[in-house]
Amino acid sequence: MLPRTFSDQLWLVMNACRGNVAGCRTWPHRNRWGLFYLWLLLSAPAWAQGLELRIEGKEVARTEDVVFHQIDEHTWVGTGRVMANESLYLVEGSRRAALIDAGTKINDLDKVVASITSKPVLLLVTHAHPDHTGSAINDFPEMWIHPAEAQSQFVSHYKGTIRYLEDGQEIDLGDRTLLVVFTPGHTPGSTTFVDPSAGYGFSGDSFGSGNLLLFGDFSTLIASCEKMLRLMERHGIRFLYPGHFNGKNLETKERIQDILALSRDVLSGKVKGEMNPTARFGLSWVVSRKGVRIHYHDGAVR
């Protein structure tokens, strides 16, 4: 669930981006980032309060920008302070660790991560939105990303080597493997990383963390939900940790089923969305049912 203030603020910035978050290509790069950071600066205090309090598990690291809590013996969640609990996940194997996403603006993220794990760290990203691929991606010499996301202006600031993820790829961390599952809809290359041995995964914004911003279309989202449900069934995956984890909003099979059912009903015309008065990010419509909310644009019903 993205609080109203968050989406309002983000909207102000993104609207300056001609309301086109997915593309943002028409906008001068420098101005866009300038405004973005201005917004970060203005909005940070509003987000600083209480974010980490809802996350259970032992606190293992804390800076001004991020707090890490333990999920289990070799897995941690980092909670950023800028954009609605933006979440980072550190997943450790016996040979190396994966960092899934890098938050919005986290200073010395490499050092924070090194204080938790002594293993070499591989940076994987779920998608190229600025609350997942912020300044800290430059702390890491390589970044693994979906090819479509690598085209985004939001990662044009990255100075390291971009490596392309493949659907179905297995990332071996040593006695622990992450399975790469492309789950487009939120963005064209949204990616979920699944850990079959642990029985959970990490889905970024693919299923919305309770409030799905659908920049793609419903057919794409439906296919991603069906694919993920099959995979969860096959591998005994109990839930997915979302990109904005507040301690209570795990993406369960039930929730993905609810997103799927609602999406099918919108596509068939059985359910009609309501006008979204602010039309944030160019998403003029909103539909909700059973605690699932989807914001979408005019061309999404196909």
The residues binding Zn ion (CB under 5 A) are: 129, 205
Of 105 and 129, which has the nearer Cβ to Zn ion? Answer: 129
Of 129 and 297, which has the nearer Cβ to Zn ion? Answer: 129
User: What's the min distance (Å) between Cβ of 58 and Zn ion?
Assistant: 28
Nearest residue to Zn ion, using CB?
A: 129
Is the Cβ–Cβ distance between 228 and 189 less than 8 Å? Answer: no
Measuring CA to CA, which residue among 187, 161, 167 is closest to residue 179? 167
**Which residues 6+ apart lie within 8 Å of 96 measured at CB?**
119, 120, 121, 122, 173, 174
CA atoms within 13 A on the CB side of 117: 26
User: What's the min distance (Å) between Cβ of 198 and Zn ion?
Assistant: 24
User: What's the min distance (Å) between Cβ of 71 and Zn ion?
Assistant: 21
**Which residues 6+ apart lie within 8 Å of 101 measured at CB?**
86, 87, 88, 89, 124, 125, 126, 132, 133, 204, 243
User: What's the min distance (Å) between Cβ of 122 and Zn ion?
Assistant: 21
Tokens of 15: 């609207």
Of 243 and 273, which has the nearer Cβ to Zn ion? Answer: 243
Of 139 and 205, which has the nearer Cβ to Zn ion? Answer: 205
User: What's the min distance (Å) between Cβ of 194 and Zn ion?
Assistant: 19
Of 76 and 154, which has the nearer Cβ to Zn ion? Answer: 154
Of 81 and 129, which has the nearer Cβ to Zn ion? Answer: 129
28 burial level (CB within 10 Å; 0-12, 13-18, 19+):
exposed
Write down the H helix ranges in 82-241. 109-114, 147-150, 218-235
**Which residues 6+ apart lie within 8 Å of 276 measured at CB?**
283, 284, 285, 286, 295
User: What's the min distance (Å) between Cβ of 184 and Zn ion?
Assistant: 12
Of 218 and 281, which has the nearer Cβ to Zn ion? Answer: 281
Of 77 and 116, which has the nearer Cβ to Zn ion? Answer: 77
Is the Cβ–Cβ distance between 173 and 97 less than 8 Å? Answer: yes
User: What's the min distance (Å) between Cβ of 186 and Zn ion?
Assistant: 6
Q: Give the largest CA-CA distance in the chain.
A: 53
User: What's the min distance (Å) between Cβ of 224 and Zn ion?
Assistant: 14
Q: What are phi and psi of 179, to 5 degrees?
A: -95, 130
Sign (positive/negative) of CA torsion 172, 176, 179, 180? negative
